[in-house]
Structure 1
Amino acid sequence: MMKPILELRNINKSYKTHHVLKDVSFEISPGEIVGFIGSNGAGKSTTMKAICNLIQIDSGEIVVNGHAMAEDALVCLKDMSCLIEAPGLYPDLSGRQNIKFFASLRNVSKENVEEVLRHTNLGHHLDRKVRTYSTGMRQKIGLSIALLSNPKLIILDEPMSGLDVDAVMELRKTVETIRQQFGTAILLSSHQLGEVEKMADRYIFIKDGEIVPDISVAQSKKTSIFFQDTTQLPDDLKRHPFYCDGLSISWTDESVNLNDVLRTILGQGLVIETIETTQRELEDIYRDVVGNHND
């Protein structure tokens, strides 16, 4: 069994009397793209900053590639890169100069630098000053710098903030390329749920500093059975985890066995019109899991 690249074990963090993170625990496997989702103030950024060792946790354990952050922070940080919102670049240096400067700080080989430069897809723009760059171009440079040390894990906190449609599409392509070519795991936080839905293999939800059971893309399916009339439907199929609207029943709970449901329905002599399985949109899952919570 493949060991997780990232493990959070009962993380707690408070600011004075405000308990921001409450026993936060989850794992990420190598090569996974995981969407980290929650409302403003839910604890997303605090969690990501803790993973990147930018803040100290009160209790719990963060483990990166088998190494505990509290004991081997430098070893952990060598296996990961973090891009928290806008990358910190030197505006009067070119994109190429920024990449080479950060590479020199990390003792990255010339071969690795050249490979990363090829992956930027910025062409002649690489030699322009960063102050002339669009937000999307800056993000590309930030991601390129994140790749310099061949990290096994990349943390992206709101990487799509301020990007136009074309830049978001380009970022999505870049993230998938990173995963495919380097096998890098990515923890991605964004309020743009539609984009997270297109990129992530799995979703982790956080609400009021607590992790809600995570959902894979496969688990986000909805099954519906349509009838001419549901008045004869057994009561067991009219309550949780089923939803009945008068002409159909539907459910999203993966533990429900379709064959068992069909036997119950047909045993009542009901006539089924159609059965369909659809992919639920992440926005709908968000409403169900997190609700309309606002901080």
Structure 2
Amino acid sequence: MNNSCAIKTTGLSYHYSKNVQTLFGINLNVERGSIYGFLGPNGSGKTTTLSLLLGLLPHQRGDIEIFGQHLHASRINILKKIGSLIETPSLYSHLTAKENLEIYRPFYGVKRERIKEVLQIVGLEDTGKKTTKKFSLGMKQRLAIAVALLPNPELLILDEPSNGLDPGGIIELRQLVKDLNQQHGMTIVISSHILSEVEKMVSHLGIIYKGKMLFEGTLPQLHALRQKDARLLIKTSDNTAALPLLATYGPQVVGDAIAVHCSSNNDIAAIARSVMESNLDLFLLQPEENNLEQLFINLTTDAS
């Protein structure tokens, strides 16, 4: 067993029915102390995977280890170390933040003082007698996370927590996730389809598509992959004449420009020389922004 992993799955597969398979051999490796972004479009298998990790769905095929223990053998002990928010948070709209937490507190067996602590952590300590129905969506989401924090978990699992949040709410959520990781030492798994936002808060990434893992690694490994797939946009006075000059770079016509694969500054210089020496005017030589969304498109296109 690997004790450096908070979560390790091997060959995790799941069928919702005989003819509908949702997961295909998922191998997750979530390191202790990391913020792990679990990325994929809606319907890709994120919630199914997280539900299996929490024992909310019957285990079918594959192995799940959490904190070095097999989930099926030590489920109760493992779940005591986990806080989770899966899909829509269950809150009582007629109650205050403190009253909502008091409803859940006995289930976790924690002291009443813990309520004040978690409200401070999520920034809701000053809501007083304001009922939850008057909360913004971002405040409701932070209160739902407060519920998950009641048992002071070592592992926090958040499923699409930024859904529906405005930009301010997303920024607050991002900072909260970072604080929980850095100041409270929690390992955090956060699933999302908002790729650019997740990249700003995570240390590790897993990308899932149609129930299959396409990528898993650190941010530097992801950035290296992005650099490998980088492209350069070129416009000349005669793009038709320029195409054969760029044949070794895999040119593709993109609107009124040409896109070529480019992995170094030396490539850029060589391309510019080739165009200029052919007596063509060079109007544009611009690296294409290869953000996480573009990488996701590249990966999913290759997997389709």
Shorter-chain TM-score: what band?
Answer: 0.7 to 0.9
Which residue in 1 is equivalent to 2:239?
none
After superposition, what is the alpha-carbon deviation per residue over 1:176-220, rounded to whole angstroms, capped at 9, x for unaligned?
111111121211112222211212222211122111122432232
Contact 2:11/2:63 (CA < 8 Å) preserved in 1?
yes
SS at match of 2:197: helix
Counterpart of 2:297 (choices 280, 287, 292) is 287
Which residue in 2 is equivalent to 1:5?
6
SS at match of 2:44: coil
Q: Tell me, which stretches of 5 or more residues in structure 1 are unaligned?
A: none
Contact 1:206/1:290 (CA < 8 Å) preserved in 2?
no
d(CA) in 2 for partners of 1:292, 1:249: 18
Which residue in 1 is equivalent to 2:25?
23
Contact 2:232/2:288 (CA < 8 Å) preserved in 1?
no
Which residue in 1 is equivalent to 2:119?
117
2:52 is matched by which residue type in structure 1? A
d(CA) in 1 for partners of 2:259, 2:20: 45
Aligned residues: 280
SS at match of 1:198: coil
Relative to structure 1, the CA distance from residue 202 to residue 9 in structure 2 (aligned partners, 3 Å threshold; closer, same or farther) is same
Relative to structure 1, the CA distance from residue 276 to residue 28 in structure 2 (aligned partners, 3 Å threshold; closer, same or farther) is farther
Which residue in 2 is equivalent to 1:77?
79
**In terms of mean alpha carbon deviation, does 17-26 or 201-210 score higher?**
201-210
Relative to structure 1, the CA distance from residue 105 to residue 123 in structure 2 (aligned partners, 3 Å threshold; closer, same or farther) is same
How many angstroms does 1:39 deviate by?
2.1
Which residue in 2 is equivalent to 1:165?
167
1:99 is matched by which residue type in structure 2? L
Note the aligned Cα RMSD (angstroms).
3.4
Which residue in 2 is equivalent to 1:180?
182
**In terms of mean alpha carbon deviation, does 211-220 or 183-192 score higher?**
211-220
For 1:252-291, list aligned pairs within 5 A. Answer: 280-291=290-301
Q: Tell me, which stretches of 5 or more residues in structure 2 are unaligned?
A: 237-241, 277-284
How many angstroms does 1:226 deviate by?
9.6
How much identity, in percent, do the aligned residues show? 27
Contact 2:97/2:127 (CA < 8 Å) preserved in 1?
yes
Q: Which runs of 4+ in 1 moved over 4 A?
A: 223-235, 243-249, 269-272, 275-279
d(CA) in 1 for partners of 2:3, 2:68: 11
TM-score by length of 1: 0.80
How many angstroms does 1:3 deviate by?
0.9
SS at match of 1:182: coil
SS at match of 2:183: helix
d(CA) in 2 for partners of 1:181, 1:22: 36
